[in-house]
A and B are shown apart, each in its own frame.
Chain A
Amino acid sequence: MGAGDISSGEWQTLLVEQVRARSQLLYRLAYRILRSPEKAQDVCQQALLKALRMQPSIREPRALPGWLTRVVITESLAVRRREQCEQKGRGAVVARQGERSPAADEAELRGLLYGALAELSQPAQAIVVLRLVQGMSGNEVAGLLGLHPSEVSRRLHASLDALRERLAPVYAGDR
């Protein structure tokens, strides 16, 4: 049975079940990327409202947990990237000159990394964030996203190579 075959009331019930079962995971994913309770909550709300609207296009209700997870991650990365762009526009990024603290370097690297992550495909973002930011095992990620564990490993490898490529100038400068 596809999601389009069930009534909107049943779909709401499914979404509420997901809220009860996964609100903490969804919030933590958003919070770890955004570091703001208000923004994390906004992203979770937006993901659920999107799911409410997208019922006809989500073909399989069992895919809903993975779908919600991916949407929360993608939206959180997009929000963070927008903020970074706005900060750059305001000239808030510290210039790369003079003495810098290790914490500032680390924060900048993390900012660049999240920016690069936002450019990856949605499944790639989900795998990197769930494995490295959320600390889930390969099997857990595979179960949540409906993938084979070896596929998770393969995609993680490809995603990290893509991130390496994007961050190569930074790494080269530090070597």
Chain B
Amino acid sequence: MECQTARDLLLQFDLSEADRTGLLRALTHVDQCLACRSATGDYDRIREALRPEPDGEPVGGWAAFEDRLAHDVTSPRHAVPLTPLALAACLAMAVSGWCLYLWPNRTAETPRQNLPETPAFVTVPSEQEIADRAKLFDQVSQVFDDRAGWVLLADRRSDMGMSSGAPTKERSVLLVRISISHEGAPFSTVDLLVVPGQVARSTVPAAGGLQLKYEVTTSQSDPSHLRIVADVERLNHAARRVGTLGSDLRIRLGQIASIGQVVTGSGTFECNVGLYRVEPSGQRS
């Protein structure tokens, strides 16, 4: 048997696939051939070095990962030219950096004495906080040639989507703050900076094996018109919806409105939304 044939046979690895008689002859050959012994020894070392290690699951679980990929394929926000990894890395750095900077400011909100009916878990962003988020939106949008349609900031996740229309540099941006409570206690707060007319879809991990799947639709002609759907999902092997909060509403700037309550097997969730205007970038310092 030739060296080449012997090594081919041995590289089939799965004994069930190999011709067993041929395999025996190949092993006999290797036993007597110094070059083949050396080669097969090296193959074994390569196999050993590449052997499979335990897998990790995607962030948020398999179902959420699959949904994110499917959404990326079908979402119009990716109809623009592909964003290279380097730009995505810039975005990630910008978002995470700003999150670290901005999130601790959450406590420095405007006092709520003018809003006596606002639930305790709802916080109102201060002017400084709105200005900081405006800067963040500009920063992210610049990385993407002024085509960012929305940027979402949550405690455990940041996300963004591209605008399907013209560059958004000179356009107003809305800040939509969505606050959700669980059994009356603060559960999740999400800040969405969105150009009116865009639709933002994102999934945000939450405590207790839950995640929140948001879809926020805005109107270009009437920025006070919002449609918000928030699915509360439980993550096991697949995401399972346990309840939905949603509303189609008109809301004034600076106003906080209730989206409602949903009672689920995992407890009662309540959702409020606040709408704030962020100045166009031309007017932003």
Task: State the A residues within 8 Å of B (CB).
Answer: 12, 15-16, 19-20, 23-24, 27-28, 31-32, 35, 37-38, 40-42, 44-46, 48-50, 52-53, 79, 106, 109-110, 113, 128-129, 131-135, 137-139, 149, 153-154, 156-157, 160-161, 163-164, 167, 171
Contacts and interface: CB of A to CB of B under 8 A. Distances in A.
B208 to A, nearest CB: 20
Contacts of B42: 160, 164, 167, 171
Contact of A38 (B50, B52, B57, B59): B59
A109 B50 CA distance: 10
A171 B57 CA distance: 34
A167 B45 CA distance: 11
A40 B66 CA distance: 13
A44 B69 contact: yes
A76 B73 CA distance: 20
What is the interface of chain A mostly: helix, strand, loop, or mixed?
A: helix
Given A16-B70, A20-B66, A110-B49, A49 B43 contact: no
A17 B264 CA distance: 32
21 contacts: A12-B74, A16-B73, A16-B74, A19-B73, A20-B66, A23-B62, A31-B56, A37-B56, A37-B58, A37-B59, A38-B59, A42-B88, A45-B69, A110-B49, A113-B49, A128-B50, A132-B47, A137-B14, A149-B17, A163-B46, A164-B46
Given A23-B65, A45-B72, A113-B49, A164 B55 contact: no
A41 B72 contact: no
A37 B57 contact: yes
B43 A160 contact: yes
A164 B74 contact: no
A27 B46 CA distance: 23
B14 A138 contact: yes
Contact of B72 (A27, A40, A49): A49
A175 B178 CA distance: 63
B68 interface: yes
A32 B39 contact: no
A48 B46 contact: no
B52 A32 contact: yes
Given A41-B59, A45-B69, A131-B13, 9 more contacts: A45-B68, A45-B72, A53-B81, A137-B14, A157-B4, A160-B43, A164-B39, A164-B43, A171-B45
